[in-house]
């Protein structure tokens, strides 16, 4: 239950707290809000007026009449403001403008090497984002936040990447501080797998409270949503499963300096390398996916084994967080059921029966859009929080 009785120095908190009940987008009447909250109808009316003044709620078609005057209904207005959502990958960058429901209004993707450094990449992001806002005919003042996903660990409290292996020049770089020199809005930064977990949940599993998203691509990582909340851990690297040791990998060296890491066995490049050692002509993870799609038996077996290796580590995750959904995404998930089958084979065999009774292990539904959608969610969650609404009112 949302505490809607608290006041604030700005005097708007009552409205921002009331707004939390309206975030789901369902239409409500003043009377139903008064009933839910126990507040006087005059108080509800004043707070609703405040939210209407901000444009955050809007009247909707009236409910069917039950005799007499039908009650006026209103709901969240997703068009009230816009946010920017950026997915900065190792070799590609995407920037999108979305409304407050996460609907993409415009987007742009370009090849972009993250190793060109923060000023170059973020400079492109800001410029392209503002160009999209202008193309949509929206006022820059309507832009209220930006969410950014990067391919490396991020200290969430400061938005700074920490020792990101494939992001030279980004270590401890103050991403929010730099972006705010150009955009005076809250800047939320997280690693790509965490935002993909948020995007996957928003698109395919909005009512699921316990979800693990696993990205299998050049690297392997996971984003953990538990109790409805993304779990970042103490330093922001919760879910970083790529360097957990798997039994089969005893002698396989990993770029992290250890041996036998999951990433050294089951990532796209690792599967390609194993196939090359068998004399198959493949250079990359995407070559492997193409071979699988053509029905190549060696490639199918290698992908299935990678699935088993991933399943070995996920079995421990299942015991720790007891998810009801494991969604497998990233470029190697395009190999389809063969990868998923390997994961299922091990997780369903090695987990306690109760943990897997209702556990779905599935391919990501959001696929390539998961990251942008998740970056948008990161920004929207911030904007629509009680503190975010207070800040909007004070602008």
Positions touching Zn ion (CB under 5 A) are: 243, 254, 256, 258, 261
Core vs surface per residue 76-88: b (16+ CB within 10 A) or e: bbbebbbbbbbbb
**What is the DSSP secondary structure assignment for residue 252, as one 8-state letter?**
-
Shortest CB 299 distance to Zn ion, Å: 24
Shortest CB 246 distance to Zn ion, Å: 11
* Residue of 189, 198, 193 whose CA lies nearest to 86: 189
Rg (CA), the chain: 23
Shortest CB 162 distance to Zn ion, Å: 17
Identity of the residue, 47 or 243, whose beta carbon is nearer to Zn ion in the bound complex: 243
CB atoms within 10 A of CB 181: 9
Phi, psi of 234, rounded to the nearest 5 degrees = -65, -40
Identity of the residue, 84 or 270, whose beta carbon is nearer to Zn ion in the bound complex: 270
Identity of the residue, 159 or 219, whose beta carbon is nearer to Zn ion in the bound complex: 219
Q: Are 100 and 91 in contact (CB under 8 A)?
A: no
Shortest CB 289 distance to Zn ion, Å: 23
Identity of the residue, 44 or 261, whose beta carbon is nearer to Zn ion in the bound complex: 261
Shortest CB 244 distance to Zn ion, Å: 9
Q: Are 263 and 242 in contact (CB under 8 A)?
A: yes
CA distance 25 to 356: 33
Core vs surface per residue 119-155: b (16+ CB within 10 A) or e: eebbebbbebbbebbeeeebeeebbbbbbbbbbbbbe
Identity of the residue, 254 or 292, whose beta carbon is nearer to Zn ion in the bound complex: 254
Shortest CB 313 distance to Zn ion, Å: 12
Q: Collapsing DSSP states into helix, strand and coil, what is residue 359?
A: coil
Identity of the residue, 154 or 270, whose beta carbon is nearer to Zn ion in the bound complex: 270
Phi, psi of 357, rounded to the nearest 5 degrees = -55, -45
Identity of the residue, 97 or 261, whose beta carbon is nearer to Zn ion in the bound complex: 261
Shortest CB 219 distance to Zn ion, Å: 10
Shortest CB 214 distance to Zn ion, Å: 16
Q: Are 168 and 121 in contact (CB under 8 A)?
A: no
Q: Are 369 and 203 in contact (CB under 8 A)?
A: yes
| Beta strands 325-329; 360-363: pairing state | parallel
Surface-to-core class of residue 66, CB atoms within 10 Å of its CB (0-12 exposed, 13-18 middle, 19+ buried):
exposed
Identity of the residue, 243 or 338, whose beta carbon is nearer to Zn ion in the bound complex: 243
Shortest CB 220 distance to Zn ion, Å: 10
Identity of the residue, 190 or 240, whose beta carbon is nearer to Zn ion in the bound complex: 240
CA distance 20 to 212: 26
CB atoms within 10 A of CB 364: 24
Structure tokens at 167: 């992001």
């Amino acid at each position: 239950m949302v505490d809607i009785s608290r006041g604030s120095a700005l005097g708007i908190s009552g409205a921002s707290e009331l707004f939390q009940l309206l975030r789901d987008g369902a239409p409500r009447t003043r009377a139903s809000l008064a009933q839910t909250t126990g507040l006087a109808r005059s108080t509800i009316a004043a707070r609703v007026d405040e939210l209407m003044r901000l444009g955050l709620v809007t009247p909707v078609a009236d409910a069917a009449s039950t005799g007499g005057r039908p009650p006026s209904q209103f709901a969240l207005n997703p068009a009230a403001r816009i946010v920017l959502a950026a997915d900065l990958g190792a070799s590609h960058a995407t920037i999108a403008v979305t409304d407050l429901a996460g609907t993409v209004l415009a987007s742009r993707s370009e090849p972009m090497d993250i190793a060109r450094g923060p000023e170059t990449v973020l400079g492109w992001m800001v410029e392209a984002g503002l160009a999209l806002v202008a193309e949509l005919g929206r006022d820059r003042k309507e832009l209220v936040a930006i969410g950014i996903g990067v391919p490396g660990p991020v200290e969430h409290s400061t938005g700074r990447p920490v020792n990101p292996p494939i992001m030279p020049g980004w270590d401890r770089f103050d991403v929010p501080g730099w972006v705010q020199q150009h955009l005076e809005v809250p800047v939320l930064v997280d690693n790509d797998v965490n935002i993909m977990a948020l995007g996957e949940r928003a698109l395919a599993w909005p009512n699921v409270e316990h979800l693990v998203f696993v990205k299998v691509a050049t690297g392997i990582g996971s984003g953990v949503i538990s109790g409805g909340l993304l779990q970042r851990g103490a330093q922001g690297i919760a879910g970083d499963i790529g360097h957990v040791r798997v039994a089969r990998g005893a002698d396989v060296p990993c770029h992290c300096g250890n041996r036998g890491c999951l990433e050294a066995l089951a990532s796209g490049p690792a599967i390609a390398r194993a196939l090359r050692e068998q004399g198959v002509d493949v250079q990359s993870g995407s070559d492997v996916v193409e071979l699988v799609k053509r029905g190549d038996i060696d490639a199918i077996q290698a992908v299935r084994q990678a699935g088993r290796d991933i399943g070995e580590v996920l079995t421990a995750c299942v015991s720790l967080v007891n998810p009801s959904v494991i969604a497998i995404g990233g470029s190697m998930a395009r190999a389809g059921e063969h990868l998923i089958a390997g994961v299922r084979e091990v997780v369903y065999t090695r987990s306690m029966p109760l943990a897997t009774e209702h556990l779905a292990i599935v391919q990501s539904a959001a696929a390539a859009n998961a990251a942008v959608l998740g970056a948008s969610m990161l920004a929207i969650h911030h904007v629509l929080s009680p503190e975010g609404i207070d800040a909007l009112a004070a602008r």
